[in-house]
Structure 1
Amino acid sequence: MDFYIILWVLLISLGINLTFFILAFIFKTDILTDITYCLSFIILSVVIVTWKQNFSPVQICLFILYNLWALRLGSYLLMRIITTKIDHRFDKMRNRFWKFGMFWVLQGLSVFLISIPTIFALSIDANYFNSNFSYYSIIFIALAVLFLLIETIADWQKFRFYKKKRKIDFFINYGLWKDCRHPNYLGEIGFWYMMTGLLLCDLFIKNLNNKNLDYLIHLLWLLSPMYINILLIKVSGVPLLEINQWQKLHDNMKYQEYLKTTSCVLFYIGKKGPINKVSKLIVV
């Protein structure tokens, strides 16, 4: 993948998000934020597909899965913001130009970092990939679909629950949420690892005897799902939700039991009990 393509992907991602940032700031609306995030992925992939029109089966599959993920997330987020009307994450920045703008810049950078392995796969010559699916490719595709289904079902269950929420026992603990406190994040993280795995697996198998292929350089694409992993588990996903839920429900004995006995992200085998940031609140 040439440097200028990487640069164009970055500029397009930032350009889309900064354009919609201006609109969101002028009209003081939260509806555009998450929708722009999802739309950015679709636009990037369509630009690449329009520019390059010869694809292998794996490249086509990556394109379909990538856009299914974006359309699924976009429709869910649109439905959620239409229902809630407002996103309280932006209460302290919605009227502050630079602070609100920085959020949109970081969102554009996130789109770039998450999408770059798939955009790379779509941009290179189809001859670098197998002309047919290998057994390994089929496994990665099946697992990617499985994680996408987990994320979809988890989001739908949570949306329906909070749409009919009760003031008592204000947390979801049925369906996929019965044995995992954040199955939607498990699906998200797993999906992107499988997408990157599909890319690397097919690329490496096809080019085993190609001495011009730098395997170590291409392994850097794993930084993309690792970025998502760290972001959701350590920064903006699990910690924010767990702290918010603890502050609301720390006196709820059913929630206390749910917290102690239910894995945080992985089903059954994952870490149980409060995360470290919540444990510090308990000590205090």
Structure 2
Amino acid sequence: MSSSKDAPSKHALRSLAVVFFAVALGLGFAWLAGGNGVTAYGLPVFVICAAVAFAVNWLAFIPAAIAKTEKYYDLIGAFTYLSIISAACILSAPLDMRAIVIAAMVVIWALRLGSFLFVRIGKAGGVDNRFDKIKINPPRFLVAWTLQAVWTIITAAAALVVISATNPAPIGIFFWVGAAIWVAAFTIEVVADRQKSTFKADPANEGKFISTGLWSWSQHPNYFGEIMLWTGAAIIALPVLSGWSFLVFASPLFITLLLTKISGINLLDKAAAKKWGDDPAYQEYRRKTSVLILRPPSA
């Protein structure tokens, strides 16, 4: 019979198994999606970028684990996007207009969201409740950093495939439709985040939930913007996709699954239910307001 002392080692092994699986998933995805693209040092550029994503997060994990802090987690996430897009651009140069535009889109998005999240966690004293139990457990904490790398690899897939494409296509309808969706989605995300930040900064709203602006049309407008943003990027990539590179459409599907079923809406709704579940105003808001897709409140 195993003793209770064996439990920590078993948990550690499970965490390391998750890390191994995540690495295999990230590199395998990169190999399939980017296999037809430009190569460097004998490897597809996409695969090299995936390796960079893991390296950045693992290096950041070391001081974070020692200090037991998650303060720089989101900032490193943004830096990971900047790192892999930069690597892809350098290794795939010269770039066509489609590649330049989609690279700029990812850079703009990463700089905006990374700085926003970093400022937000700073206001919260550098504490993110999601990490309360895992930051004191190095193997589990390593899982979080590894999964962030996988998140980056999959979400940025369309951009990385376009940048490293060996068959550039002329600018056409898919580019303009995808770009229009991206710009609209980016605007929605920025406005929603700003509206909520302004609402929470007002002392008069202490303990209240936001139900104005875009938040009167969706309970999670920022998530809707995030999903549509990467959908737009995938549409921009369409003309250069072939074979396994169509896997880039896993990006918006993955984000939708994550934000609606795993670590987004479901967790936020549970927390909100604890705060305002018995509040008639909150119940009315939930009844009238779309959960995700932007649309006018129902009667």
Identify which of 104, 119, 138 aligns with 2:176: 138
Identify which of 148, 160, 173 aligns with 1:107: 148
Paired letter, 1:120: V
Do the aligned residues in 1 keep the contact of 2:77 with 2:148 (CA within 8 Å)? yes
- Look up the match of 2:278: 251
In the alignment, structure 1 residue 159 sits paired with structure 2 residue 197 = yes
- Look up the match of 2:94: 54
TM-score, normalised via structure 2 length = 0.81
How does 1:131-280 map onto structure 2 within 5 Å?
133-166=171-204, 170-200=208-238, 202-203=239-240, 215-268=242-295
Distance 1:174 1:269, change over 3 A: closer
Do the aligned residues in 2 keep the contact of 1:169 with 1:255 (CA within 8 Å)? no
Do the aligned residues in 2 keep the contact of 1:42 with 1:70 (CA within 8 Å)? yes
Q: Deviations over 1:163-221 (max 9, x none)?
A: 22557662111111011100000000000001001110x326xxxxxxxxxx4433222
Q: Which moved more, 1:242-251 or 1:6-15?
A: 6-15
SS at 2:135 equivalent = coil
Paired letter, 1:188: E
Paired letter, 2:219: R
Deviation at 1:266, TM superposition (A): 0.6
- Look up the match of 2:107: 67
In the alignment, structure 1 residue 119 sits paired with structure 2 residue 160 = yes
RMSD: 1.9
SS at 2:291 equivalent = coil
Q: What is the alpha-carbon distance in structure 2 between the residues aligned to residue 263 and residue 173 of structure 1?
A: 11
Identify which of 84, 90, 93 aligns with 2:124: 84
Deviation at 1:9, TM superposition (A): 2.1
SS at 2:210 equivalent = coil
Distance 1:169 1:23, change over 3 A: closer
Instruction: Provide the aligned length of Structure 1 versus Structure 2.
Output: 257
Q: What is the alpha-carbon distance in structure 2 between the residues aligned to residue 172 and residue 97 of structure 1?
A: 36
Deviation at 1:51, TM superposition (A): 1.7
Q: Deviations over 1:145-173 (max 9, x none)?
A: 11001001101111222222557662111
Deviation at 1:228, TM superposition (A): 0.7
Paired letter, 2:49: V
Do the aligned residues in 2 keep the contact of 1:181 with 1:265 (CA within 8 Å)? yes
Q: Which moved more, 1:234-243 or 1:4-13?
A: 4-13
Deviation at 1:108, TM superposition (A): 1.2
Do the aligned residues in 2 keep the contact of 1:169 with 1:254 (CA within 8 Å)? no
Q: What is the alpha-carbon distance in structure 1 between the residues aligned to residue 202 and residue 133 of structure 2?
A: 28
Do the aligned residues in 1 keep the contact of 2:182 with 2:233 (CA within 8 Å)? yes
Paired letter, 1:34: D
SS at 2:195 equivalent = helix
TM-score, normalised via structure 1 length = 0.85
Identity %: 28
Q: Which moved more, 1:134-143 or 1:17-26?
A: 134-143
Q: What is the alpha-carbon distance in structure 2 between the residues aligned to residue 247 and residue 199 of structure 1?
A: 42
Deviation at 1:269, TM superposition (A): 7.4
Q: What is the alpha-carbon distance in structure 1 between the residues aligned to residue 208 and residue 91 of structure 2?
A: 49
Do the aligned residues in 1 keep the contact of 2:49 with 2:88 (CA within 8 Å)? no
Paired letter, 2:279: N
Unmatched tracts of structure 2, length 5 or more: 1-33, 36-42
Unmatched tracts of structure 1, length 5 or more: 205-214, 273-284
